Amino acid sequence: MKNLKYTILTFLISFAAFANIPNSEKESLLALYNGTNGAEWNSAWDITLPVDTWYGVKIENNHVVEINLPFNNLIGSLPSEVGNLSELVKLNLGFNGLTGNVPTALSKLQNLEVLELFMNKFEGEIPAELGQLKKLKSLKLYSNKLTGNIPLPIMGLVNLEELLLGSNYLTGNIPQEIQALKKLKKFSVMDNKMDGEIPVEMAQLTDLEELLLSTNQFTGDVPIEFINLTKLNTIMVSDNKLNTEYISVSGKNPPSLMLIESSATATIDIEKE
């Protein structure tokens, strides 16, 4: 009799663990698992166990708030059902083998602060719909096969601190509207096919610490107004079509500032006055 009571109690506890997660969220997780060859993941889920035991899934207040599955051998397309995880704050699927387009359904994740899809094989354009993610602080899409321009709505994500889009096949210029990203600390479009002049409006991004623009087709000069970027510690502009080999900046910048020659590999260290 005691064993029976224990068995029933265990069942009820397990059932409660499942029941506390909305069905729509559990179905979204299962869609992710089944759509990305979950059985072959490096750390696979045992879907017979409670969701809060599944590797890389964080639950708070009976909702999925984080999915962290980097280096986990996810292969296939990212299912649109992930967009139904309405309380998701962080989605990290970096260093996997995901293919196809970045789902526009991700725009439904209105609580999302971190979106990390880097080091995959996504193709197509960056969805303009991602500009609806107003709480987003970090957008990392580097090292994929993305094409097209940087969507203008991305420049409306005023809480962004990191916008890393390097090592893709992006074209077009850097939108002047980037000046709205006042909290931006890291910006990278290195190793793309972008062109046009480096917008002087970027000099208004006074929190900027890292600016990576190398290996594109940018023209003109690096704006002298970048003298105002006193927090900048790394700027890379090598392998472009700039008019000048170097950019002169004031000693106001940190002594660690490295200016990369636009046509070679030499560096200049700027000393503080």
Question: Which tens digit of pLDDT belongs to each residue from 38-90?
Answer: 999 999 999 999 999 999 999 999 999 999 999 999 999 999 999 999 999 99
First-to-last alpha carbon distance for the chain, in angstroms, is: 82
Q: Write out pLDDT tens, residues 82-129.
A: 999 999 999 999 999 999 999 999 999 999 999 999 999 999 999 999
pLDDT at 243: 86
- Would you say residue 206 lies in a domain? yes
Domain end call among 118, 137, 159: 159
Task: For residues 149 and 56, give the distance between their C-alpha atoms in angstroms, rounded to a whole number.
Answer: 32
Beta strands 162-164 and 138-140 are parallel
Name residues whose C-beta falls within 8 Å of residue 55's C-beta, 6 or more positions apart in sequence. 41, 43, 44, 45, 69, 72
Q: Could you tell me if 23 and 115 lie in one domain?
A: yes
Domain end call among 125, 159, 193: 159
Helix (H, G, I), strand (E, B) or coil at 44: coil
pLDDT at 54: 98
Task: For residues 72 and 153, give the distance between their C-alpha atoms in angstroms, rounded to a whole number.
Answer: 31
Task: For residues 214 and 29, give the distance between their C-alpha atoms in angstroms, rounded to a whole number.
Answer: 38
- Would you say residue 260 lies in a domain? yes
Helix (H, G, I), strand (E, B) or coil at 203: helix
Q: Write out pLDDT tens, residues 189-239.
A: 999 999 999 999 999 999 999 999 999 999 998 898 998 899 999 898 989
Domain end call among 159, 183, 209: 159
Give, in order, the Cα–Cα distances in Å from 7 to each of 2, 15, 167, 168: 9, 12, 54, 54
Report phi then psi at 182, rounded to 5. Answer: -65, -20
Q: Could you tell me if 60 and 155 lie in one domain?
A: yes
Q: Could you tell me if 179 and 260 lie in one domain?
A: yes
CATH number, domain containing residue 154: 3.80.10.10
Give residue 74's domain range.
Answer: 1-159
Q: Could you tell me if 55 and 180 lie in one domain?
A: no
* Band of pLDDT at residue 28, cut at 50, 70 and 90: very high
pLDDT at 238: 86
* Band of pLDDT at residue 30, cut at 50, 70 and 90: very high
Number of domains in the chain: 2
Q: Which among 91, 51, 53 has a CA at the least distance from the CA of 74?
A: 91
pLDDT at 250: 34
Of the listed ranges 6-20, 106-120, 165-179, the least confidently predicted one is 6-20
Q: Which has the higher per-residue pLDDT, 238 or 258?
A: 238
Report phi then psi at 213, rounded to 5. Answer: -125, 5
Task: For residues 20 and 70, give the distance between their C-alpha atoms in angstroms, rounded to a whole number.
Answer: 26
Task: For residues 169 and 53, give the distance between their C-alpha atoms in angstroms, rounded to a whole number.
Answer: 38
* Band of pLDDT at residue 12, cut at 50, 70 and 90: very low
- Would you say residue 166 lies in a domain? no
Q: What is the 3-state secondary structure (H, E, C) of 160-201?
A: CCEEECCCCEECCCCCHHHHHCCCCCEEECCCCCCEEECCHH
* Band of pLDDT at residue 249, cut at 50, 70 and 90: very low
Q: Could you tell me if 13 and 103 lie in one domain?
A: yes
- Would you say residue 205 lies in a domain? yes
pLDDT at 245: 61
Q: What is the 3-state secondary structure (H, E, C) of 138-150?
A: EEECCCCEEEECC
Q: Which has the higher per-residue pLDDT, 40 or 261?
A: 40
- Would you say residue 189 lies in a domain? yes
